[in-house]
Structure 1
Amino acid sequence: MKKFLFIGAPLPPKAYAWVALCLRLFVGILMLTHAFPKIANYPTLSLTFPDPLGIGSQLSLLLTLLAEGLCSLLVIAGAFTRLAVLPLLFDMCIAAFVVHAGQGFAQKELAVLYLGFYLLILVLGPGRLSVDRFLFRESYEND
């Protein structure tokens, strides 16, 4: 423990697997809390949802729901994880740098935090405790 805290010894592979799982669960569940109200208020939101890409409010909302809902569930399960974070990264880039472009950092902060978490998941991958491990066993044989 002393080595880990003060010298920076790397995590053992089993500990890394648990850290990756906790990160996926934490970020995925939190993002679902943004998707559920959008689903519940879909009829109203589809008329007033921001349209930063010029594709229409309804399609913008639908794509946001797919990212925040479906992709978050995939991240939680660790299924096609790196592929699933790509729409979420795009969603957070649009939220932070287009929708909140003229606003202060306080309004962008949450989207930027999610962006950082999704970049971390993209780089680190899902870990051994994931559906990806069972789907792509040969990639995990040396872990």
Structure 2
Amino acid sequence: MKNSSALFIPPRIDLGLFFLRLTGSLLLLHVHGLPKVFHFSEELTRIEDPFGMGPYMSLIPAIFAEVICPIFIILGVGTRLACLPIIGVLLVAMLFVHPGWSIAEGQFGWLLLIIFTTLAITGPGKWRIAAGHHQEVRHGAS
């Protein structure tokens, strides 16, 4: 007879995707997103403008990617789509704003790029708001 408590243990992949979503998004929010919101005026004077659109048009997409998108990713709602603006902002930062950085200097940005590209490929896993409250438990091969 199988251990009945095994029915309540989530598959490791879903737990891993939830952990990746939660920690990656919270890190992005804390380090990059929320400081841009709380210090908006100051950020307007400091933000890089690699395409000459002006500081406001550079800051608003960054805030969207670093605040709004991580919230959707944490909830597991539209995860793949929400990863795309983050990936875009990170690629602009790494390739256009800081092209001279070594891998070591840009490691935080590259690691965030790895996290959110992975989530864009895999999706959120089963632990998400959109999954609802009732999950079907399958027995046998997975």
Q: Does the TM-score normalized on the shorter chain lie above 0.5? A: yes
* Unaligned stretches of 5+ residues in structure 2: 1-8, 136-141
Equivalent-residue separation in structure 2 for 1:36 and 1:53 (angstroms): 23
Alignment partner of 2:23 out of 23, 26, 49: 26
- Taking the TM superposition and a 5 Å limit, the aligned residue runs for 1:118-133 are 118-133=116-131
Aligned to 1:66: 64
Q: How many positions carry a matched residue from both structures?
A: 125
> How far off its partner does 1:92 sit?
0.7
* Unaligned stretches of 5+ residues in structure 1: 1-11, 138-142
SS of residue paired to 1:74: helix
> How far off its partner does 1:39 sit?
1.1
Alignment partner of 1:116 out of 109, 114, 136: 114
> How far off its partner does 1:49 sit?
1.1
Equivalent-residue separation in structure 2 for 1:54 and 1:130 (angstroms): 39
SS of residue paired to 1:107: coil
Identity over aligned residues, as a percent?
29
Aligned to 1:8: none
- Taking the TM superposition and a 5 Å limit, the aligned residue runs for 1:78-97 are 78-97=76-95
SS of residue paired to 1:51: coil
Deviations 1:58-114 (A, max 9, x none): 110111000000001111111100000000000110111111102333332111111
RMSD: 1.9
Larger Rg: 2
